[in-house]
């Protein structure tokens, strides 16, 4: 009797079919991509010894004593990330009001601003620095501008979405009170959006600490540039020390921003 019980599915049969199809499509895409790039997942396993030899013999032990200028370069990188995030967030703060549907005074302007944001965001900071290095030469200002441009694009979108989420209800109430445009921004939109602003700002600091290192490697200055110099002159022990120092700083910054997030966003 028991084994004759009818099986009652919990999901509609069509949905189940879709999931199965999606799985096989993904599998096919993975296989095709692997074949195209001629990537053999077993290479890593087979040639592990080469990799570990390189790590243990060339990189380890890290030689921090010989890493001249490491900490001043590290400060430059940190400064670059902080300054870029700060400048970008100030700009995005202003332009987000013009870009968000809830606060945009002119719809045509909001479209232009969103387009500019999308353009600057979708070209990575790495590419921006390549362009800028060609124009201005190597230096931290190049890294700073590259990071600012990309962060501006990203924060503009994030801030616009934050404002969109504020919702029209409280704005409607302020309209009914006879408040004007700037009063509405100051008394309703900004207070409601502040948690979003802070959270995205902190996120961008974390991201920019990492990308300012990479931007530095292609000529944006800071610790990335120092690392690149040591790698290119085959001083791997020093490079190893720098890499570990970067990791330590990144972890430290992440811990700090996490702590801030818990503190500020109640």
Partner 1 sequence: MSKPLIVEHLTKSYGPGSLAVDDVSFEVKQGEFVAIIGPSGAGKSTILRCINRMVEPSDGRILFEGNDISHVQGKKLRDARRRIGMIFQHYNLVYRLTVMQNVMHGRLGYMSTMDGILNRYKEEDKEKALKLLNKVGLLEYMYKRASELSGGQKQRVGIVRALMQEPSLLLCDEPIASLDPNSSKVIMDLIYELTKEWNISCIVNLHQVHVAKEYATRIIGIRQGKLVFDGPPSELTNVMIEEIYNTSMENLMINGEVRAVG
Q: At its nearest, how many Å lie between partner 1 and the CB of residue 193?
A: 9
Q: Which residue has the tokens 């921004």?
A: 185
Q: Supply 203's token pair.
A: 């996120």
Out of 50, 180, 262, 263, point to the residue binding partner 1 (CB under 8 A). 180
3-class SS of residue 235 = coil
C-alpha–C-alpha distance, residues 87 and 35, integer Å: 44
3-class SS of residue 68 = coil
Stretch that binds partner 1, among 108-116, 126-134, 144-152, 183-191 (CB under 8 A): 183-191
163 lies in the binding site for partner 1 (CB under 8 A): no
Give every CB contact of residue 144 below 8 A, 6+ residues apart in sequence: 80, 83, 84, 220
Q: At its nearest, how many Å lie between partner 1 and the CB of residue 154?
A: 24
- C-beta of residue 153 within 8 angstroms of C-beta of residue 121: yes
Q: At its nearest, how many Å lie between partner 1 and the CB of residue 177?
A: 5
170 lies in the binding site for partner 1 (CB under 8 A): yes
The smaller minimum CB distance to partner 1, of residues 144 and 171, is found at 171
Give every CB contact of residue 192 below 8 A, 6+ residues apart in sequence: 166, 167, 170
Give every CB contact of residue 150 below 8 A, 6+ residues apart in sequence: 120, 121, 123, 124, 125, 128, 211
The smaller minimum CB distance to partner 1, of residues 70 and 163, is found at 163
Instruction: Provide the 8-state DSSP code for 19.
Output: H
187 lies in the binding site for partner 1 (CB under 8 A): yes
C-alpha–C-alpha distance, residues 266 and 264, integer Å: 6
Stretch that binds partner 1, among 51-59, 120-128, 187-195, 202-210 (CB under 8 A): 187-195
175 lies in the binding site for partner 1 (CB under 8 A): yes
C-alpha–C-alpha distance, residues 181 and 266, integer Å: 28
Q: At its nearest, how many Å lie between partner 1 and the CB of residue 196?
A: 11
Q: At its nearest, how many Å lie between partner 1 and the CB of residue 149?
A: 30
For residue 84, which of 144, 139, 158, 150 has the smallest C-alpha distance? Answer: 144
194 lies in the binding site for partner 1 (CB under 8 A): yes
Q: At its nearest, how many Å lie between partner 1 and the CB of residue 87?
A: 23
Out of 94, 186, 251, 255, point to the residue binding partner 1 (CB under 8 A). 186
- C-beta of residue 224 within 8 angstroms of C-beta of residue 249: no
177 lies in the binding site for partner 1 (CB under 8 A): yes
Out of 98, 123, 179, 260, point to the residue binding partner 1 (CB under 8 A). 179
Q: At its nearest, how many Å lie between partner 1 and the CB of residue 174?
A: 6
192 lies in the binding site for partner 1 (CB under 8 A): yes
C-alpha–C-alpha distance, residues 126 and 220, integer Å: 9
Kindly list the residues in this chain that would bind partner 1 in the complex (CB under 8 A): 169-170, 172-180, 182-183, 185-188, 191-192, 194-195
């Amino acid at each position: 009797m028991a084994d004759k019980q009818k099986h009652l599915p919990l999901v509609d049969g069509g949905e189940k079919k879709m999931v199965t199809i999606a799985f096989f499509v993904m599998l096919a895409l993975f296989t095709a991509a692997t074949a195209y790039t001629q990537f053999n997942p077993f290479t890593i396993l087979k040639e592990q010894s080469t990799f570990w030899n390189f790590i243990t013999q060339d990189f380890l032990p890290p030689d921090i004593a010989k890493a001249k200028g490491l900490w001043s370069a590290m400060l430059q990188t940190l400064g670059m990330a902080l300054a870029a995030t700060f400048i970008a967030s100030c700009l995005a703060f202003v332009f987000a009001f013009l870009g968000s549907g809830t606060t945009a005074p002119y719809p045509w302007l909001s479209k232009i601003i969103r387009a500019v944001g999308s353009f600057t965001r979708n070209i990575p900071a790495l590419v921006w620095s390549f362009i800028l290095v060609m124009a201005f030469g190597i230096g931290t200002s190049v890294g700073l501008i590259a990071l600012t441009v990309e962060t501006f694009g990203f924060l503009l979108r994030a801030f616009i979405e934050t404002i969109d989420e504020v919702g029209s209800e409280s704005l409607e109430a302020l309209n009914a009170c006879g408040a004007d445009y700037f009063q509405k921004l100051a008394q309703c939109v900004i207070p409601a959006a502040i948690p979003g602003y802070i959270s995205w700002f902190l996120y961008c600091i974390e991201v920019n600490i990492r990308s300012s290192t990479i931007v530095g490697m292609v000529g944006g200055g800071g610790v990335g540039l120092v690392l690149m110099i040591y790698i290119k002159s085959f001083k791997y022990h020093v490079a190893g020390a720098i890499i570990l120092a970067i990791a330590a700083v990144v972890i430290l910054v992440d811990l700090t921003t996490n702590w801030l997030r818990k503190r500020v966003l109640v």
